[in-house]
């Protein structure tokens, strides 16, 4: 489902606001070369959102980590960890001081 589809499901009193926000939606961008501190939006395992019905809800933050489902034998060589990790290797470099 795309963000525009979700916006059109909003309650009538929120419809204009959600449709306008969907048209302006962009994926978060962080230029680590300018600012080496980690942005807040990747530090929390959950995030708070306003749903299309106007109710607040807590969801898993997809920018915090990624878990492979299912992990199939042979998908990764023995040198690669399959445990949950931050989504971007740059974060790991930052945390290790590289």
Mean pLDDT by 10 residues, the chain (98 residues): 84 90 80 79 87 87 76 62 52 48
CA dist 65 and 34 (Å) reads 23
- What whole-number distance in Å separates Cα of residue 31 and Cα of residue 94? 13
Looking at the chain, how many residues does it have? Answer: 98
Contact 63, 42 (CB under 8 A): yes
Q: Which residue has the tokens 């299309």?
A: 52
Which of 32, 34, 33 minimizes the C-alpha distance to 42? 32
pTM: 0.45
**Which pLDDT score is estimated for 51?**
82
- Dihedral angle of Cα 7, 67, 85, 6, to the nearest 10 degrees: 0
């Amino acid at each position: 489902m795309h963000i525009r589809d979700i916006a059109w499901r909003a309650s009538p009193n929120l419809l204009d606001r959600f449709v306008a926000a969907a048209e302006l939606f962009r994926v978060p961008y962080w230029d680590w070369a300018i600012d080496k501190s980690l942005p807040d939006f990747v530090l929390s395992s959950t995030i708070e959102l306003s749903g299309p019905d106007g109710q607040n809800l807590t969801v898993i933050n997809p920018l915090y980590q990624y878990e492979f489902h299912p992990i199939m034998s042979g998908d990764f060589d023995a040198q690669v960890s399959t445990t949950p990790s931050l989504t971007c290797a740059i974060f790991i470099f930052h945390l290790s001081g590289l």
